[in-house]
Structure 1
């Protein structure tokens, strides 16, 4: 829905704007996003390098930043993982 899209844009802008350039997430902005919005995920990680690897994988143009399109790949991956978990929890 339009509201969901607007919420995603607002979420991206909230973190992307912290460093002054609001068209992409720097590494620090990405870490802030992950540790705030996805704290349940990050707190359960035993591997301290997991967030660096996630950012590197998402950063398809290798510029050290995540633009909105790259950010949406993260959101899409999370939605797919949640959907898979939901399907596994539903009795057949």
Structure 2
């Protein structure tokens, strides 16, 4: 029986390859569709209409318009870190009530 972390790792790998297909990298369109399906509120809540372009630019290490699995993990780590910061603040506020 896999642990929670092993399951999370499996899901990240599965999700990346589901959207990347046989190419083993994400294009801007693949990444946009992934973000819309897996993080539905993220793009909707962006105030910057160019947010997707900026994310792609930051993640496309070779500046070739593709995102490797390694750079996809950087995106997941950044989003997780942001959520963690929110979670900690929220939990502290909840504890004060």
TM-score by length of 2: 0.84
- Shift in Å, 1:47: 2.1
SS of 1:48's partner is coil
User: How many pairs are equivalent?
Assistant: 89
Q: State the match for 2:7 in structure 1.
A: 3
Q: Which runs of 4+ in 1 moved over 6 A?
A: none
SS of 2:48's partner is coil
Q: State the match for 2:64 in structure 1.
A: 63
Q: State the match for 1:74 in structure 2.
A: 75
Q: Does 1:14 align with 2:18?
A: yes
**Structure with the bigger percentage of helix:** 2
TM-score by length of 1: 0.88
**Alignment partners' CA distance in 2, 1:83 and 1:43:** 20
- Shift in Å, 1:46: 2.9
Gap regions ≥5 residues in structure 1:
none
- What's the RMSD between the two structures over aligned residues? 1.3
Gap regions ≥5 residues in structure 2:
none
